[in-house]
Amino acid sequence: MRRDEIVDAARLWLGTPYHHQASLCGIGCDCLGLVRGVWRDLCGAEPEQPPPYSPNWAESLRQETLALAASRHLLPIAVSEAQAGDVLLFRWREHLPAKHCAILAGPGSIIHAHDGAAVAEVAFTPWWRRHLSHAFSFPGVTD
Protein backbone atom coordinates (compact mmCIF):
# COMPACT_ATOMS: atom_id res chain seq x y z
CA MET A 1 0.00 0.00 0.00
CA ARG A 2 1.07 3.57 -0.59
CA ARG A 3 1.29 6.32 2.00
CA ASP A 4 -1.34 8.44 0.25
CA GLU A 5 -3.75 5.48 0.38
CA ILE A 6 -3.34 5.28 4.16
CA VAL A 7 -3.98 9.00 4.58
CA ASP A 8 -6.99 8.84 2.22
CA ALA A 9 -8.40 5.89 4.19
CA ALA A 10 -7.96 7.79 7.47
CA ARG A 11 -9.64 10.88 6.02
CA LEU A 12 -12.75 8.82 5.27
CA TRP A 13 -13.18 8.67 9.08
CA LEU A 14 -13.22 12.47 9.51
CA GLY A 15 -16.33 13.50 11.42
CA THR A 16 -16.86 10.06 12.98
CA PRO A 17 -18.02 10.73 16.57
CA TYR A 18 -15.82 9.64 19.46
CA HIS A 19 -16.99 6.46 21.14
CA HIS A 20 -14.74 4.59 23.55
CA GLN A 21 -13.65 1.16 22.16
CA ALA A 22 -15.68 1.52 18.94
CA SER A 23 -14.33 1.18 15.40
CA LEU A 24 -17.13 1.94 12.92
CA CYS A 25 -16.57 4.61 10.29
CA GLY A 26 -19.27 7.29 10.48
CA ILE A 27 -20.77 5.70 13.62
CA GLY A 28 -18.12 5.94 16.33
CA CYS A 29 -14.49 5.23 17.23
CA ASP A 30 -11.72 6.05 19.62
CA CYS A 31 -8.10 6.65 18.61
CA LEU A 32 -7.28 2.94 18.49
CA GLY A 33 -10.55 2.26 16.65
CA LEU A 34 -9.47 4.68 13.92
CA VAL A 35 -6.17 2.85 13.38
CA ARG A 36 -7.97 -0.52 13.53
CA GLY A 37 -10.47 0.68 10.92
CA VAL A 38 -7.77 1.90 8.56
CA TRP A 39 -6.02 -1.47 8.99
CA ARG A 40 -9.24 -3.31 8.04
CA ASP A 41 -9.79 -1.02 5.05
CA LEU A 42 -6.28 -1.58 3.67
CA CYS A 43 -4.93 -4.83 5.11
CA GLY A 44 -8.02 -6.97 5.76
CA ALA A 45 -9.03 -8.67 8.98
CA GLU A 46 -7.52 -7.39 12.20
CA PRO A 47 -4.70 -9.65 13.41
CA GLU A 48 -5.97 -9.45 17.01
CA GLN A 49 -8.89 -7.94 18.88
CA PRO A 50 -8.00 -5.58 21.71
CA PRO A 51 -9.27 -6.64 25.11
CA PRO A 52 -11.74 -4.37 26.89
CA TYR A 53 -9.94 -1.31 28.25
CA SER A 54 -10.97 1.50 30.54
CA PRO A 55 -10.25 5.17 29.84
CA ASN A 56 -7.42 5.06 32.41
CA TRP A 57 -5.98 1.68 31.36
CA ALA A 58 -2.45 2.97 30.71
CA GLU A 59 -2.11 4.53 34.13
CA SER A 60 -3.43 1.47 35.94
CA LEU A 61 -1.33 -1.10 34.03
CA ARG A 62 1.91 0.96 33.96
CA GLN A 63 3.01 -0.94 30.88
CA GLU A 64 3.57 0.13 27.28
CA THR A 65 0.56 -1.96 26.26
CA LEU A 66 -0.31 0.13 23.20
CA ALA A 67 3.28 0.26 21.94
CA LEU A 68 3.74 -3.48 22.48
CA ALA A 69 0.55 -4.26 20.56
CA ALA A 70 1.58 -1.93 17.74
CA SER A 71 5.00 -3.58 17.51
CA ARG A 72 3.35 -6.97 17.00
CA HIS A 73 1.68 -5.82 13.76
CA LEU A 74 3.33 -2.61 12.60
CA LEU A 75 6.99 -1.84 11.88
CA PRO A 76 8.69 0.30 14.54
CA ILE A 77 10.55 3.31 13.16
CA ALA A 78 12.38 6.24 14.70
CA VAL A 79 9.99 9.09 15.47
CA SER A 80 12.29 11.38 13.47
CA GLU A 81 11.71 9.16 10.40
CA ALA A 82 7.88 9.25 10.51
CA GLN A 83 6.17 10.09 7.22
CA ALA A 84 2.61 10.51 6.02
CA GLY A 85 0.62 7.34 6.67
CA ASP A 86 2.62 6.30 9.73
CA VAL A 87 1.02 5.61 13.11
CA LEU A 88 2.14 7.84 15.96
CA LEU A 89 1.79 7.14 19.68
CA PHE A 90 1.70 9.81 22.36
CA ARG A 91 2.14 9.86 26.11
CA TRP A 92 0.46 12.59 28.16
CA ARG A 93 3.22 12.68 30.77
CA GLU A 94 6.82 11.56 30.48
CA HIS A 95 6.52 8.97 33.25
CA LEU A 96 3.31 7.39 31.86
CA PRO A 97 2.90 4.85 29.05
CA ALA A 98 1.72 5.94 25.60
CA LYS A 99 -2.07 5.85 25.42
CA HIS A 100 -3.08 7.89 22.38
CA CYS A 101 -2.54 7.20 18.68
CA ALA A 102 -2.93 9.10 15.44
CA ILE A 103 -2.07 8.78 11.78
CA LEU A 104 0.38 11.30 10.36
CA ALA A 105 -1.37 12.99 7.42
CA GLY A 106 1.65 14.99 6.33
CA PRO A 107 4.47 16.97 7.88
CA GLY A 108 2.06 19.43 9.46
CA SER A 109 -1.04 17.44 10.44
CA ILE A 110 -2.33 14.31 12.16
CA ILE A 111 -5.67 12.50 12.03
CA HIS A 112 -6.99 11.25 15.34
CA ALA A 113 -10.03 10.68 17.54
CA HIS A 114 -10.26 12.04 21.05
CA ASP A 115 -12.82 12.11 23.80
CA GLY A 116 -15.51 14.73 23.34
CA ALA A 117 -14.89 15.32 19.63
CA ALA A 118 -15.17 13.68 16.24
CA VAL A 119 -12.25 12.32 14.23
CA ALA A 120 -10.38 15.36 12.99
CA GLU A 121 -7.30 16.37 11.08
CA VAL A 122 -5.41 18.81 13.27
CA ALA A 123 -2.13 20.66 13.16
CA PHE A 124 0.89 18.64 14.29
CA THR A 125 1.91 21.39 16.68
CA PRO A 126 4.94 21.58 18.97
CA TRP A 127 2.67 20.39 21.82
CA TRP A 128 1.91 17.15 19.95
CA ARG A 129 5.56 16.75 18.95
CA ARG A 130 6.67 17.03 22.60
CA HIS A 131 4.30 14.20 23.56
CA LEU A 132 5.25 11.91 20.66
CA SER A 133 6.77 8.69 21.99
CA HIS A 134 6.65 6.03 19.25
CA ALA A 135 6.19 5.75 15.49
CA PHE A 136 5.26 2.77 13.33
CA SER A 137 4.72 2.06 9.64
CA PHE A 138 2.10 -0.24 8.20
CA PRO A 139 3.65 -3.43 6.81
CA GLY A 140 4.53 -3.25 3.13
CA VAL A 141 4.07 0.50 2.83
CA THR A 142 5.70 2.23 -0.12
CA ASP A 143 6.08 5.86 -1.05
Question: Could you write out the three-class secondary structure of 38-60?
Answer: HHHHHHCCCCCCCCCCCCCHHHH
Q: Provide the β-strand partners of residue 76.
A: 136
pTM of the predicted structure, to 2 decimals: 0.94
Residue 127 phi, psi (nearest 5)? -60, -50
**CATH assignment of 3-137, among 3.30.420.10, 2.102.10.10, 1.10.357.140, 3.90.1720.10:** 3.90.1720.10
**Residues 98/106/141/134 CA torsion (nearest 10 deg):** -20
| Tens-digit pLDDT profile for residues 56-107 | 666 666 778 899 999 999 999 999 999 999 999 999 988 889 999 999 999 9
CB distance 66 to 98 below 8 Å: yes
Q: Where are the domains of the chain?
A: 3-137
| Tens-digit pLDDT profile for residues 109-139 | 999 999 889 999 999 999 999 999 999 999 9
- Apex CA 100: angle with CA 63 and CA 123, to 5°? 150
